[in-house]
Structure formats: C-alpha cells, structure tokens
Structure 1
Amino acid sequence: MNAPLKPPVIAEVLADACVSISNLKANPAAVIAEAQLRQVAVLNRNKPVAYVISPEVWEYLCSLHDDAADSELARERLAEGDDGIAVTLDDLLD
C-alpha cells in the first residue's frame, strides 16, 4: 500500500524578508516599518502564515484585481456579440 502524502518539507516564501510570529508579537511596529520597504512573511513553525505589505502594495494589488475583473467582463460581453460603443481617443482623453 502507498504511504500517505506528507506536506513538503520546504515551504516557498514569497517575500523579501521573514519574521517569526513571536518576534511579530514582541515588536509589531518594527515589522510594520520594515513592510513599508519590502514584503515580510510571518512564519509559524517555519511555515508562512501571513504576509505584511505596505498600503501602496495593497492598493496596487487591488488595482490589478480590478483590471482583471474589467478585462473578463469585456471578454464576456464581446463573446455575447455586444458591439459596444465606438469612441475616439480624443473622447477618452476629455
């Protein structure tokens, strides 16, 4: 019989810096200050459980999400045969 799958020994950390959850609890202001400069992974037992990012990074990620949703809506409408409204570049810039 096959052995049960074990979780990977190595966890991928998608951040430029790491901090343990106990260090975060001890000095949250320092972690937040560091997150203004780069992304910080919060580790619990050497596995990422959270990421701390700056408000600017969060706003950028939200705008990417909104752009993706708008693109998907446009693709759906084009697939339905919606011709849209003809506009010129000048119309958009006004």
Structure 2
Amino acid sequence: MQAILAPFSASISELKKNPTALLKQAQGEAIAILNHNLPTAYLVPADVYQQLLEKLEDYELGKIFQERQAEKHLAIDVMLDDL
C-alpha cells in the first residue's frame, strides 16, 4: 500500500465538487488526492510549490558544486596579470 504523504486527503470527486473548500480546510497544507483510496496527486498551495522548486534548485546547485570540488585537482593556477 502506498503511503499518503500529506496531512489532509480528499477523493477526486470531493476535489471536483468544491476545490476552494478543500484548500480552506487544509489551511496551506498539502492535500493528497485519492483515486480508489490510493494517492494519485498532491495539491499544494502555490507558495509551497515555489519553495519546493527553490529547494530543488539549491540541491542541484549543491551537486554541481560537489562535482566541481572533486575536479579541483585538475585546475590550473593562473594569475590575473597573465590574462
């Protein structure tokens, strides 16, 4: 069985009937949208989604930094005056 990763859940039918009421009830928290009692989607407020995207971007930048740190031994020292 799939875990529900949200403090609130609603069926697709409930979502269709009154999405605004669901959002008010969740008070800014994520809502798991269920189909036959299995999560099929998550509804999150726009600001939460933006925060998630920013954290993902930070994570990806961190990975790039680590990769480049591992290649630091290949770098060549250059003086700015030599350029």
Same fold (TM over 0.5): yes
**Superposition RMSD in Å:** 1.8
User: Distance in 1 between the 2:17 and 2:66 partners?
Assistant: 48
User: Distance in 2 between the 1:35 and 1:63 partners?
Assistant: 23
Structure 2's unaligned 5+ residue stretches are 77-83
Question: How far did 1:32 drift?
Answer: 3.3
Residue 69 (str. 1) matches residue 47 (str. 2): no
Could you tell me the TM-score, scaled by structure 1's length? 0.69
User: Distance in 1 between the 2:52 and 2:29 partners?
Assistant: 14
Aligned-partner residue type, residue 60 of structure 2: A
Q: 4+ residue runs of structure 1 moved beyond 4 angstroms?
A: none
Aligned-partner residue type, residue 44 of structure 1: N
Contact 1:36/1:54 (<8 A) preserved = no
Question: How far did 1:12 drift?
Answer: 0.5
Aligned-partner residue type, residue 60 of structure 1: Q
**Higher RCO (CA 8 Å, separation ≥ 6 residues):** 2
User: Distance in 1 between the 2:2 and 2:57 partners?
Assistant: 29
Q: 1:16-31 maps to which residues of 2 (within 5 A)?
A: 16-31=7-22
Aligned-partner residue type, residue 6 of structure 2: A
Listed one character per residue, the Cα deviations across residues 58-91 of structure 1 (whole Å, up to 9, x for unaligned) are 11111110111111111111111158xxxxxxxx
Q: How many residues align?
A: 74
User: Distance in 2 between the 1:39 and 1:78 partners?
Assistant: 37
Could you tell me the TM-score, scaled by structure 2's length? 0.77
Q: Which has the higher helix share?
A: 2
User: Distance in 2 between the 1:53 and 1:61 partners?
Assistant: 10
Report the equivalent of 2:81.
Answer: none
Structure 1's unaligned 5+ residue stretches are 1-9, 84-94
